[in-house]
Amino acid sequence: MAPKVPPQPTLEQSTTAAAGHGHAHEAPPKGLMRWLLTTNHKEIGTLYLIFSLTMFFVGGIFAMVVRAELFQPGLQLVQPEFFNQMTTMHGLIMVFAAVMPAFTGLANWMIPLQIGAPDMALPRLNNFSFWLLPVAFTLLLSTLFMPGGAPNFGWTFYAPLSTTYGPPSTTFFILSLHIAGISSILGAINIIATILNMRAPGMRMMDMPLFVWTWLITAFLLIAVMPVLAGVITMMLMDINFGTSFFDAAGGGDPVLFQHLFWFFGHPEVYIMILPAFGIVSAIIPTFARKRLFGYASMVYATAAIAILSFLVWAHHMFVVGLPLVAELFFMYCTMLIAVPTGVKVFNWITTLFRGSISFEPPMLFALAFVVLFTIGGFSGLMLAIAPADFQYHDTYFVVAHFHYVLVPGAVFAIMAGVYYWLPKWTGHYPNERLAQWHFWLSVIGVNLTFFPMHFSGLAGMPRRIPDYALQFADFNLVASLGAFMFGASQLLFVAVVVLCVRGGRKAPGRAWEHAEDLEWSVPSPAPLHTFDTPPKFERSSH
């Protein structure tokens, strides 16, 4: 009788020499059950990536509604109530359901392959972490159909707007975020356990690929801050439903306490969404510059420095909330300091390019655009760190421009670079280069048309999160909306490239990119369902 549960790792399996052969008798469940019950890191990675891409389009549709309403002054398409739901849901979905699961998906696929492990350390937990996500976000999206509508208080859900004044669906939103948070914590535990325990014999910590390093640090950030998020939303839940007054001044509470707690989670969260991107780019640039990364060790230290500093800068989101002078100064200095390790990273990438032998395959195009556009986002971040000037920048479109530069051509481009880089390993085929180039150029032009004018509209005085605006902002918004439609539409090309690549295309060898050195390139393409049943011999040449 065929087993109804997925195969469990046994001593026999882990000593089987040839990948795949030892499992022929354990036919996995067919159809939907296979995906529901899978404990295989590659299949779970695929699930994460498909989920993330789906949510990227859901969140993208919300963004299109926002940009369509802002196309010209006046209210044309939606009312302010619904507009606020769209901005809120766009932010929540993109952060928690698109970017974070995409990185977790890449981690699932690539970390075992990059450290020579047969799977994640806790495969069933891995399955559970993934399947929590569809539950969480089905719940969140269902609030759109509830009386009073979906959450409408921004993705930062500041109290008391989200508590005393929130819609009835707020409690569902809290539950959904709790579930997503549990998923993140379990995923992070799994990644740490895998990296610390399952590296190939001979691979020291300082031999690990940077994607593994950045994910290890990210996982610690997740474990540190997700409980804080859970705490703050639980306090909201109590305020809303059980008569407490954590954030209600009328009952002796403090609305600003909410912001301290939220941003103590929220700022590390920002780095959770960018550190793995650094790892991906640090793998791609040396591959296509045919030259080893200039400073491996300093990249590791810079990542750690950024992670530690991320706990000391939260109140730079709160410069105008009425902090005392010493607090403003402390948070201003700490925030400015982050520019140093971030600069080290950018200099490292560029020095790696210098005197390399550079070619421009699709992953490289996205990685190079990442370096330029993420750095522009870093510059505006440095400007925002200057507390006195932040009294003018705060809560304007300048901030919107800043964080979209680090998140879209930053995190999202890095994810796409990673997908193009590893698609040959996943599918055995190269992605269609011509289509990928179209996708790249349309995305780069679209993203800049969308977000560059926002710097100017912000400086000129346009607050964020408004459904209608004064006439002097009309031109900036028109351009931004056109750019957004272009960027949104060109992502359909990305789906086309991925689907075509899964179905066929030029065959890729095991080492799909000539100069790629990490362990994943030592297994065949496509990677068989089970790899490294026997630990590989790790040769210390790559770093």
Q: Is 394 in the site for another protein (CB under 8 A)?
A: yes
Q: Give the containing element (helix H, strand E) for 46.
A: helix 41-69
Contact 320, 390 (CB under 8 A): yes
Measure the CA–CA gap between 502 and 500, rounded to whole angstroms: 5
Distances (CA, A) of 74 to 154, 400, 406, 468, 476: 21, 21, 30, 6, 15
- Measured from the Cβ of residue 142, the count of other Cβ atoms closer than 10 Å reads 13
Q: Is 374 in the site for another protein (CB under 8 A)?
A: no
Give the dihedral sign, CA 336/338/344/347.
negative
Nearest approach in angstroms of CB 311 to another protein is: 19
For another protein, the binding residues in 286-305 under the rule CB under 8 A are 289-298
Listed ranges 3-11, 157-165, 179-187, 499-507: which one lies at the site for another protein (CB under 8 A): 157-165
Q: Which is nearer to another protein, 255 or 510 (CB)?
A: 255
Nearest approach in angstroms of CB 177 to another protein is: 18
Q: Is 518 in the site for another protein (CB under 8 A)?
A: no
For another protein, the binding residues in 464-483 under the rule CB under 8 A are 464-472
Measure the CA–CA gap between 207 and 202, rounded to whole angstroms: 9
Q: Which is nearer to another protein, 31 or 388 (CB)?
A: 388
- When binding is defined by CB under 8 A, the residue of 40, 46, 52, 84 that contacts another protein is 84
Contact 253, 245 (CB under 8 A): yes
- When binding is defined by CB under 8 A, the residue of 160, 268, 409, 431 that contacts another protein is 160
- Which residues are CB-contacts of 251 (< 8 A; sequence separation ≥ 6)? 244, 245
Burial of 510 (0-12, 13-18, 19+ CB in 10 A): middle
Q: Is 347 in the site for another protein (CB under 8 A)?
A: yes
Nearest approach in angstroms of CB 178 to another protein is: 23
Listed ranges 173-181, 213-221, 327-335, 500-508: which one lies at the site for another protein (CB under 8 A): 327-335
For another protein, the binding residues in 226-245 under the rule CB under 8 A are none
For the window 86-125, what string marks contact with another protein as x by the rule CB under 8 A? ----------------------------------------
Nearest approach in angstroms of CB 462 to another protein is: 8
Q: Which is nearer to another protein, 311 or 456 (CB)?
A: 456
Contact 215, 257 (CB under 8 A): no
Q: Which is nearer to another protein, 14 or 164 (CB)?
A: 164
Q: Which is nearer to another protein, 18 or 297 (CB)?
A: 297
358, 461, 355, 458: which is closest to 404 by C-alpha? 458
Q: What phi and psi, each to the nearest 5 degrees, are found at residue 65?
A: -60, -45
Q: What phi and psi, each to the nearest 5 degrees, are found at residue 149?
A: 80, -175
Query: Could you say which DSSP state residue 396 is in?
Result: B
- When binding is defined by CB under 8 A, the residue of 101, 167, 209, 418 that contacts another protein is 167
Measure the CA–CA gap between 438 and 362, rounded to whole angstroms: 10
Nearest approach in angstroms of CB 249 to another protein is: 2
Contact 347, 293 (CB under 8 A): no
- When binding is defined by CB under 8 A, the residue of 353, 435, 496, 500 that contacts another protein is 353
Measure the CA–CA gap between 91 and 465, rounded to whole angstroms: 11
69, 59, 77, 239: which is closest to 144 by C-alpha? 59
Return the biggest CA–CA distance within the chain: 72
Q: Is 135 in the site for another protein (CB under 8 A)?
A: no
Q: Is 255 in the site for another protein (CB under 8 A)?
A: yes
Q: Is 441 in the site for another protein (CB under 8 A)?
A: no
Q: Which is nearer to another protein, 18 or 329 (CB)?
A: 329
Listed ranges 79-87, 172-180, 224-232, 526-534: which one lies at the site for another protein (CB under 8 A): 79-87
Q: Is 161 in the site for another protein (CB under 8 A)?
A: yes
Listed ranges 249-257, 432-440, 490-498, 523-531: which one lies at the site for another protein (CB under 8 A): 249-257
Measure the CA–CA gap between 233 and 176, rounded to whole angstroms: 10
Q: Is 392 in the site for another protein (CB under 8 A)?
A: yes
Q: Which is nearer to another protein, 5 or 75 (CB)?
A: 75
Listed ranges 55-63, 217-225, 348-356, 527-535: which one lies at the site for another protein (CB under 8 A): 348-356
Q: What is the size of the binding site for another protein (CB under 8 A)? A: 91
> Given its phi and psi angles, is residue 9 left (phi above 0), alpha (psi -120 to 50 degrees) or beta?
beta
Name residue 296's amino acid.
Y
Tokens of 91: 């932010």
For the window 194-233, what string marks contact with another protein as x by the rule CB under 8 A? ----------------------------------------
Could you write out the three-class secondary structure of 462-479? CECCCCCCCHHHHHHHHH
Query: Could you say which DSSP state residue 527 is in?
Result: P
Positions annotated as catalytic residues are 90, 119, 155, 183-184, 267, 269, 271, 282, 316-317, 342, 345, 464
- When binding is defined by CB under 8 A, the residue of 19, 272, 368, 419 that contacts another protein is 368
- When binding is defined by CB under 8 A, the residue of 356, 488, 524, 536 that contacts another protein is 356
Q: Which is nearer to another protein, 84 or 183 (CB)?
A: 84
Could you identify the residue written with the tokens 């939103």?
173
For another protein, the binding residues in 7-66 under the rule CB under 8 A are none
